Amino acid sequence: MTKVNVKLKINGDPYELAVRPNRTLVEVLRDDLHLTGTKIGCKTGDCGACTILLDGKSVCSCMTLAIEAQGKEITTIEGVGLSYDKLHPIQEAFVNEGAVQCGYCTPGMIMSAKNLLDKNPKPTELEIRKALSGNLCRCTGYARIVKAIEVASEKMYNTQK
């Protein structure tokens, strides 16, 4: 049960480190690589604070072994926006629409929103709400998060046209 060398590709960057097989991806991201944008809210896959994209699909990084994330494209919140002035349209909409309160669920919410909009650029309100089934928020009542995703969809859709 010794450590195993793993190679992870995170936000396009190569990382190589030795981990024990029981280490989850969120632990490696936060503790080993100091990518603390991905949050831990439950560690049982119920709250979605740790949501990241694995090969473009949203998953709970608390339920993913780091060792199994090898060879896959890992996208975390740090890989979504470039800087404070170059936010992704989803991030920008979250700011402007008041979708952020305490902010602890926010990175996971944004990853789930991206998972949705990448597949379904013009979702209905119900589709958005269903797409957030795995992300709990205790502050906002979700209303402004849903609105932000609608606004982002609008903006991204028009931009793409």
Partner 1 sequence: MNDTKTNNNSLIGQSIPRIDSPSKVTGKAQYAGDIILPGTLYGKLLLSTVAHAKIKNIDISAALALPGVKDVIVGKDTPCIKFGNWRLFPNTQDELPLAVDKVRFIGDEIAAVAAITPEIAEAAIALIKVEYELLPAVFNIDDSLAPGAPLIHDENKELTSNISLDRKIDVGDIEQAFKDADYIREDSFLVHPHSHAYMEPCATIAETDAEGRVTIYTSTQTPYIVQCLLASTLGIPENHVRVVKPAIGGGFGGKMELRTWEFCAAFMSRRTGRPVRFVLTRQEELEIGRRRHGMKIKSKVGFKKDGTIVAKDFEAYLDGGAYNSMGPTATFLCGNFGAMLYRYPVYRYRGYHVYTNLPPSGAMRGFGAPQAMFISETQMNMAAIDLGIDAIDLRIKNAMVTGDKIEGVTTISSAGFVESLEKIASATQWKEKKKNLPPNKGIGIGCYSFISGGVFNWFNTQYHFSACEVRAYDDGTAHLFTMSCDIGQGSDTVLRQILAADLGILPNMIRLTAGDTAMTPKGDLGTWGSRVTLMNGNAILDASKKIKNELAKIVSVKFNLNVIHDVAFADGRVFAKANPKYGMTFGEAVTMWVKMNRGEELTARGVYTPRDKGLTTPAYSFGAQVAEVDVDPETGVVTVEKISTAHDCGTVINPLSVEGQLEGAIQMGLGYTLCEQFAIKDGKTLNTTFLDYKVPAAEDMPQIVSYKIDTYEKEGPFGAKEVGEGLVIPTAPAIADAVFQATGYRCKDLPITPEKILKSQGKI
Partner 2 sequence: MAIPNFNYLAPTTLKEALTMRVSHGAKSSIMAGGTDLLIKMAHRNHHPEYVIGLNCVADINYIRYNAAGNLAIGPMAKLSTIMDHPDIVSHFPALSHSSGVTATVQIRNMSTLIGNIVNASPSADNATPLLVLDASLVIMHEGGEREVPLHEFFLGFGNSVMKPTELIKEMILPMPGKNSGSSYQKISTRSKVDIAGVCVSAFLTLNDAGVITTARIALGSVAPKPIRVPQAEQVLEGQKPSIELFRKAAALSREEAKPISDMRASADYRKAMVEVLTIRALEASLLIATNKTH
Determine the distance from the C-alpha atom of residue 4 to the mean position of all C-alpha atoms in its chain, rounded to a whole number.
26
Of 128, 117, 125, 123, whose CA–CA distance to 160 is shortest? 117
Q: Is residue 3 within 8 Å of 19, Cβ to Cβ?
A: yes
Kindly identify the residues of this chain, within the stretch 93-132, that bind partner 2 according to CB under 8 A: 112, 115, 130-132
84 binds, among partner 2, partner 1, none (CB under 5 to 8 A by kind): partner 1
For the bound state, the minimum distance from the C-beta of residue 144 to partner 1, rounded and expressed in Å, comes to 6
Interface with partner 1, residue 139, by CB under 8 A: yes
Nearest-angstrom CA–CA distance, 145 and 97:
8
Nearest-angstrom CA–CA distance, 17 and 32:
9
Of 137, 52, 157, 149, whose CA–CA distance to 91 is shortest? 149
8 binds, among partner 2, partner 1, none (CB under 5 to 8 A by kind): none
Nearest-angstrom CA–CA distance, 151 and 143:
12
Nearest-angstrom CA–CA distance, 73 and 127:
26
CB nearer to partner 2: pick between 9 and 43: 43
Interface with partner 2, residue 155, by CB under 8 A: no
For the bound state, the minimum distance from the C-beta of residue 45 to partner 2, rounded and expressed in Å, comes to 6
**Which of 24, 38, 75, 153 is the binder for partner 2 (CB under 8 A)?**
24
149 binds, among partner 2, partner 1, none (CB under 5 to 8 A by kind): none
Lookup result for tokens 């199994």: 68
Nearest-angstrom CA–CA distance, 86 and 96:
14
Binding site for partner 1 (CB under 8 A): 30-31, 34-44, 46-47, 49, 76-78, 80-81, 83-84, 87, 91, 94-98, 100-107, 110, 126, 128-130, 132-133, 135-146
Binding site for partner 2 (CB under 8 A): 1, 4, 20-22, 24, 43-46, 48, 51, 54, 57-60, 63-65, 67-68, 112, 115, 130-135
